[in-house]
Amino acid sequence: MASHRKSRPPGTRVAGIRTPALATAALTSVALLSQSAQAAPVDDRPSLEEVEQKVDDLYRQAESATDKYNAAKEKTGKQRKRVDTLLDDVAQRTQKLNEAREELGSFAAAQYRTGASAPDTATFLLADSPQDYFDQTQLMGRLTNRQKGAVDDYTVEQSATMEKRKEATESLQSFTESQGDLKTAKATVQKKLAGARALLSQLTAEEKARLAAIEEKKKQEAERKAAELAEQQAAAEQKAREEAAQQQDSGSSTGSTSSGSSSTSGSASDSAPDASYATKAEKALAFARAQIGKPYVWGATGPGSYDCSGLTQAAWKAAGVSLPRTTYDQVNAGTTVALSAAQPGDLVFFYDDISHVGVYIGNGMMIHAPKPGAYVREESIYYDGESSIYRVVRPA
């Protein structure tokens, strides 16, 4: 008997039974979605090394902004004094101008009372006698000369006063602009420091401990590099002493030999400081050592706290040497020497933007005010790697 059920077209039966390709795709999609759901909470936080680098960069940028703040503050202070001087000068000149004006007024009144402004013919006719006319004419001639002098004085004072008023106005405008630069630099410093503090505040206790371990490792490497430099410098000094002794021994042989060895010795000691420099350097270092333990504060020049250039400026001031306020001015306030020839008292500058400086104390070490949150301390000049050292400068 024939079936009454209609036959179904092939491929239209239940999916997953007749269509294995679609089933496979569906299962794959489910698996991928499951993996995506499990992988969703990926930690995109920066590594400790990245945090350290970012914090260091922010501190460096803050130091660079601090130098701009120091420069603007110094400029503002000088301009304030200049404006005050100009305003005092204008006040004095205005007083003289008023006195000259009063003198002219008195002459005008005298002319009116004596009739000196009348024509010569009328004055002659109104005179009691010819002799009275000539006497009066001579007197008025003298008055006229005095009047002319008064007018000249008034004109000179008026011109000078106007010029000084113009100069004072321009100085006031420049002073206002410098104050704006000062506020901008201050805001930049505060922003960079806030960014660094925010990054550090997000670290867990464990991360802070790991970060401290990373910094300790860097410190040990920096001290190792300092020891290497100390050995190189000691070897160079020993060689220089031996050459000097050899020159002294051979000095009595011939004049030409003495001359030749003298030339060799001179080239070996080109970077050696003289005795007066060593004396000043000792005073500068004694001052710097006395500041160890005092906090770094941006813009500070002592006595309770310092920034990096404030410390070096104060140290050399104690030795009787005046240095500029900022690092990028201090770097030009002396003679550049090779790192291998660095001597105690020399200034070591860091980074391409010359945003940091310390006082070299010998053996690859220096005294410096490192950064916000830190204190004045002794540290290897390689504290941020050899590539960070920009230049060594011998002041005085």
Residues taking part in catalysis:
308, 356, 368
The answer to whether 36 touches 42, Cβ cutoff 8 Å, is no
Place of tokens 């007749």: 18
Calpha distance 58→52 (Å, rounded): 10
**DSSP reduced 3-state for 311:** helix
The answer to whether 341 touches 334, Cβ cutoff 8 Å, is no
Nearest 5°: phi and psi at 251?
Answer: -65, -25
Query: 117: Cβ–Cβ under 8 A, 6 or more apart, which residues?
Result: 111
The answer to whether 342 touches 392, Cβ cutoff 8 Å, is yes
The answer to whether 83 touches 168, Cβ cutoff 8 Å, is yes
Place of tokens 């940091």: 356
Q: Write out the two tokens for 173.
A: 């405008």
Sign of CA dihedral 302, 304, 309, 313: positive
